[in-house]
Structure 1
Amino acid sequence: MPTTGAPLDAIHRHLPVFTTLREFLDWSEKKGDLVRVARKVAVNQEITAVQMKVLAGGGPVLRFDAPVLADGSVARAPVVTNLFGTKRRVAAGLGLLPEQVSDFGTFLAELRTPPPVDGMRDALSRWPMLKAALSTRPKVLRKAPVQEVVDLHPDLSTLPVQTCWPGDGGPLITWPVVLTRSHGSDPDDVGRYNAGVYRAQVKDKDRLIMRWLAHRGGAAHHRGWAQAGEKMPIAIVLGADPATLLAATLPLPETVSELAFSGVLRGERMELVRSRTVPLLVPAHAEMVIEGWVSPTETAPEGPFGDHTGYYNAVEPFPVVEVTAITQRARPLYLSTSTGRPPDEPSVIAEVVNELVLPVIRQQIPEVTEFWLPPAACSYRIAVVAIDKRYPGQARRVMMALWGMLPQFSYTKMVIVVDKEIDVRSWDDIAWAISTRMDPARDVMLLDRTPMDYLDFASPIEGLAGKIGLDATTKIGTETSREWGRVIAMSAEAESFADKLIAELGVLA
């Protein structure tokens, strides 16, 4: 575990800066990590079936060059899926090698709360951090590739929007970066923007249903516009560059604009352009942008759709978007994905985010030595935390601190705290710690009626549920009145002897 972050320049020189999605795809193809599919494949279920199997096998990016629409015609835009289907590609989207992710997480933590400067030499050494902060300032262009074609009479049915699962309520846009801004803000003030990945159901040719959870930034912006009785401008960006895509998925503080922060991830200033029919700035080099207005009052039933929980979510009302324009490149690509029971693309991204967020956690909870959100547990429902335990009750303090630290962790229903020598990514180690260091009557903390993702069907009340914390650490001080057992371990000399003899015998070859 590194204690200080590597300079930003040193981290980013290993891989190129990907200003566009196309640059990332070209790089992947040169690495032999992209496959073009020439044969016709239906956007209804077939693309999903192929992607989910390829992702499970750790396979490449997929480009479907002949996606078949519901009417049997072939769409003009190829469909790109499985973009971040491996941890290596997620890291590359940040401009990193996999082994650099932890260092970059430390750098991001220091960027959030920089340590005090100690003299001129130390100040000069912080230049990479200053450069990263400056890179958040966008550059606004007069003309942009994403507006090579402007359609003021949009027809969403011409886009190769997937219907992922047999029980889905219709075509669903799954990989958009949705841009909104707070009511009363200046359209040029990117710091007041929110960028989130929210799914959008195609209702008809010029109407969408926008689904966002109440705690997300887009929903908060919409409430502000609705309270003023005004419709809200919205831009749905399809095929953004990797840094913008990943910035929209990170657990950033509510006061930090994801769009601005993408400049830190990319390592250079973002280029934006004014949208054509709504007062918003949009990424200049994206593949497509759907512009429109979100109604302050009108809703429509959204769903059901297969979700990352492995279940279909319930049908619920969400705001309706009136689409006013589709702008795009002359020969655009349509970026998409499919979600379902892990492994899926969001769960792969979450594994990398897990590494990025650990230094941030350690800033606020310094005794944490390791942290794991198991992908199989929907990437956030269970957390396993290893701590350097020093006093009674410490595990419970860590549980409560974690639940209150970030909005995303308020949806973590189970926290398991273990000692630092336990491998948090080994279910065998976790099971051993729970079975030998946890007493159900003493070491379980239960909370009731706490915030929960409404997609959790196990919750007795929609949006409210219980939480459980398991203290599977060694009990010390007043936590126990018994003498604690000693862990058995072989001597180093005997271990070394066994290794040599086994190698000579070849019994494990």
Structure 2
Amino acid sequence: MRDLPPYPSLRGFLDWCTETGQLQPVADPVPVRHRMTAVHGAVLERGGPVLRFDRPVREDGGMAGMPVVTNLFGTASRVAAGLGVREDRLEDLGAFLAALRSPAPPEGLKDALSRWPMLKAALTTRPKICGSAPVQQVVRSDKDVDLSDIPVQTHWPGDAGPLITWPVVLTRPHGSKAEEAGRYNAGVYRVQVLDKSRVIMRWLPHRGGAAHHRSWGRAGEPTPVAIVLGADPALLLSAALPLPETVSELTFSGAFSGCRPRLVPAATVPLLVPANAEIVLEGWVSPDETAPEGPFGDHTGYYNQAEPFPVVRITAITHRQDPLYLSTYTGRPPDEPAIIGGVFNRLALPTIRAQIPEVRDLWLPPAACSYRMAVVSIDKRYPGQARRVMMALWGMLPQFSYTKMIVVVDEDIDPSNWDDIAWALATRMDPGRDIMLLENTPMDYLDFASPQPGLAGKIGFDATTKIGSETRRDWGEVMRTDPGDAAFAADLLGRVLPELAS
């Protein structure tokens, strides 16, 4: 499926960004406190390049010893490139991933041979264990551990302190073996720096890392953890994807990268870590020690409240000889998570269609936090079908459990066009008939509009044309320009007003 060469490391991807004119070094000193985020946000909003801050200024005013890379996935095209494809082939990649999830039995030898890409993808998920690795060129353990050497940003004026925002956190369940990489969970969680050797791990109860932490806690033991900073793009994006719980993001990343994951035993904890990463923080998550995490600015555009989360004691920092620190920020969209979410939406569409065949297109507006609102167009064939689609999205697909508003439209409506959505709501939806309300359903506890944390209502709008028993009135006919008339107008404009035709 790859259009682009493999990127076995963050550096390989940055080399491609440089070759394609998408990396901009910043030679001026830039403070990691607030101002680096301000620069990053301004560049992201303009669809700008990856930034490499070569002279980051630490919180204490000193110059940091390593560059900071931001805006890695600040455009949809770079997210697609991180997955190995051009942006116009995302739908093809989505279909490929849907086939990997639910492969059909081959129909004869020719069909079996045509599935070589799927077999190749499966083979690339097998990790390769290395004896040495670039990420362990420098190993600092015990008293030599000092997180202040890493230029971690404080992003917003109301933030509690420095926050690591692009970590890939590796854990495994209690009772598993370190070499069983297929049982690992890789998640992107918020990590607050407390002091030179302690951080707070903010993983929510439903996330894989938290489940592993509970399994170690039941045995009364701390959880081994590896916090990977500056992973290869395939692992970064795999860790953010809503993959099935039985799939390890660490091994699945090979299907995106086009090469087998290269892993090496960690220096001080019983885990395998990516050999080509920039930095790895090794440590143990306490089964009972917590500390108040936050407040921090979040993707909702608000600061979340401080809450207790587990404390991690760092036992080693390993890194390349000349490491890069990868960072980002979260805030009211646009931000990198919103851009990544838009791409993931396109990847997920074939899988959604496999379960709900009448779905034609779907849009998760970035301005609605990329998941709290969905607009879906369907091929409508019978009364009540829009409501069935709403319930299917909420009930069949876990990634929609926090989507509190769904608007269903006909396939003649562009679900990503606000004017089309407004027209459909205004002309095809009656508030007394076409609204479905649910109460006390699961919700992201960061939704301050919810009556109580973790529980909220959901609303569905049926903005489709009403057919059959849905209405007693004759439905209006949509006005459309005749194709011949449209062609005549385009030809005339091309000759008389070429600047408008173009």
Q: Considering the TM-score relative to the shorter chain, is it more than 0.5?
A: yes
Match of 2:43 among 54, 58, 62: 54
CA shift, 1:504, in A, is: 3.2
Amino acid in structure 1 at the alignment position of 2:10:
L
Distance in 2 of aligned mates of 1:485 and 1:382:
28
Find out whether 1:105 has 2:94 as its counterpart.
yes
Give the one of 76, 80, 91 matched to 2:65: 76
Which residue identity does 1:140 align to in structure 2? I
Residue in structure 2 matched with residue 307 of structure 1 by the alignment: 298
Q: Give 2:379's match in structure 1, choosing from 375, 388, 397.
A: 388
CA contact (8 A) 1:36 1:64 kept: yes
Structure 1 residue runs without a partner (length 5+)? 1-7
Question: Deviation digits for residues 193-227 of structure 1, max 9, x if unmatched?
Answer: 11011010001111101111221111111122222
Which residue, out of 151, 160, 173, partners 1:182?
173
Distance 2:196 2:399 in 1: 34
Taking the aligned partners of 1:493 and 1:136, their CA distance within structure 2 comes to 53
The RMSD of aligned alpha carbons is 1.1
1:409 matched to 2:394? The reply is no
Counterpart residue type for residue 342 of structure 1? P
Deviations along 1:157-203, one digit per CA (max 9) or x if unpaired, are: 12100000001000000000001111111111112111011010001
Aligned pairs (5 A) from 1:251-266: 251-266=242-257
Match of 1:41 in 2: 30
Q: Which amino acid aligns with 1:429?
A: D
The equivalent of 1:203 in structure 2 is 194
Residue aligning to 1:95: 84
**Aligned partner letter, 1:90:** V
Report deviation, 1:496. Answer: 2.1
Moved >3 Å (runs of 4+)? none
Q: Structure 2 unaligned runs (5+)? A: none
Q: Deviations over 1:284-334 (max 9, x none)?
A: 000000001111111110001011111111111111101111000011000
Contact residue 201 and residue 208 of structure 1 kept, 8 A: yes
Question: How many residues end up aligned between the 2 structures?
Answer: 498
CA contact (8 A) 1:41 1:47 kept: yes
Spell out the pairing of 1:441-452 with structure 2 (5 A cutoff): 441-452=432-443
How far apart are the structure 2 equivalents of 1:489 and 1:272? 59
What residue in structure 2 maps to residue 3 of structure 1?
none
Counterpart CA distance in 2 for 1:76 and 1:492 is: 63
Deviation per CA, 1:347-398: give whole Å up to 9, x if none: 1111111110000101111110101111111111111111111111111111
The alpha-carbon deviation at position 69 of structure 1 amounts to: 0.7
Calculate the TM-score normalised by the size of structure 2.
0.98
Distance 2:179 2:412 in 1: 50
State the match for 1:66 in structure 2.
55
> Where does residue 114 of structure 2 map in the other structure?
125
Q: Which whole-Å CA distance do the structure 2 matches of 1:336 and 1:496 have between them?
A: 50
- The equivalent of 2:184 in structure 1 is 193
Q: Which residue of 1 aligns with 2:449?
A: 458
Q: Does residue 1:505 correspond to 2:496, yes or no? A: yes
Identical amino acids, percent of aligned pairs = 68
How much has 1:407 moved relative to structure 2?
2.8
1:72 alignment partner AA:
G
- Verify the 8 A CA contact 1:251 1:406 in the aligned structure 2: no
CA distance in structure 2 between the partners assigned to 1:17 and 1:157 by the alignment: 33
1:369 aligns with 2:341: no
1:413 corresponds to which letter in structure 2? Answer: K
One-letter amino acid of the structure 2 residue matched with residue 439 of structure 1: D
Structure 1 residues 337-352: aligned runs within 5 Å: 337-352=328-343
Partner in structure 2 of residue 146 of structure 1: 135
Which amino acid in the other structure matches residue 138 of structure 2?
Answer: V
What is the identity, as a one-letter code, of the residue corresponding to 1:81? T
SS of equivalent residue, structure 1 residue 357 = helix
- 1:251, CA displacement in angstroms? 1.2
- Among residues 460, 468, 475, which one is paired with 1:469 in the alignment? 460
The aligned counterpart of 2:344 is: 353
Q: 2:259 aligns with which of 265, 268, 273?
A: 268
Q: Are 2:285 and 1:294 aligned?
A: yes
Distance in 1 between the 2:396 and 2:315 partners? 39
3-state SS in 2 of match to 1:411: coil
Q: Write the distance in 1 (CA, Å) between the matches of 2:362 and 2:181.
A: 33
